[in-house]
Amino acid sequence: MARSCCWRDFSLLFILITVTLTHLDASSQPVDQELSTIMNELWKLDTNRLKAGTDYTISLQGKAGYVPHGSNNARDHAQSPLFSYVDESKLKSMKTYSHFMNLLDNYEMSTGVSESVTEDELAENYRFLDSILETEVMKRAHSYLVSKGKSRSDLRLFKNQLYDIWFRLYHRDRSGGEDSCGFEHVFVGETKYGKEILGFHNWVQFYLQEKHKHLDYKGYKASHNDKPDDNDHVLNVQFSWNGLVKPVGSCFVGVSPEFEVALFTIVFLVSNGRSTHAVVNVDEYQLEVVVYRHGHSIGTSYPKLLSSNNRHL
């Protein structure tokens, strides 16, 4: 009897330890210093990043509440849109943003619905890649990947590699044809069975969908001691999109498309596992950069804000 109780106590202790370790906060993980260094280089090179309060204005309003997984009911803690103002003329005047925005209407929203790429859309994909490859951000990302033996120095081969990572179609829902790609999932967003939002981690798409009344911002998500402010370039948010709720979504704000492509491409290529959760310090933020692979392409990628305004230091 004593042996049985002892074994039961041991089993409960083992379960408790396992659950605790599984749910350890990412901020307890060691910071990846090498990734932090290259990310800060890219941050400083991102001259196309918009300036908060000048090029755009956001209104954080209230803190969003808890929404159970699978539920599409969320109390609205933000009566106004997240974006109060964005200088669209500036966006359209910069090639990388302009070509990026041209791609946002090229995809079927729902997984399970086969995608088809027209000749015009194919040309748009390559125009976007050509435009970002002209930036100092992508030039530095390319040289870094070459130095790590992850990319070839030939720019044509690197562009083909980027195409496979971001635009090569694949099956996300096995019931249909090729219905997804890294770009669509991360930057445009998808829905699954008309019941939940997948991906959608880009601020330009967020702004445009909000502007056209397809998206309703519900409030920010943050820990009790780390409230974001209107100048932050990384946010965790809650929103509804075409009637579906994203309980917690995360995205950069104001950064250029080339910065995001460079950052996520580097993390994707330097890691070997199916998923990567790297903690990095970039500018005044501590982030968990998450990247999942889908074969030779990106399945999803996003930044999760752990701490801002140097509160982690």
Give strand pairing partners of 304. Answer: 288
d(CA 59, CA 100): 25
What residues are labeled active site? 185, 201, 246
Closest CA to 54 of 90, 96, 79: 90
Burial (CB count <10 Å: 0-12, 13-18, 19+), residue 226: middle
**Per the structure block, which two tokens stand in for 285?**
């933020």
Those residues with Cβ within 8 angstroms of residue 152's Cβ, 6 or more apart along the chain or in another chain: 146, 158, 161
d(CA 120, CA 185): 20
Those residues with Cβ within 8 angstroms of residue 312's Cβ, 6 or more apart along the chain or in another chain: 27, 281, 286, 306
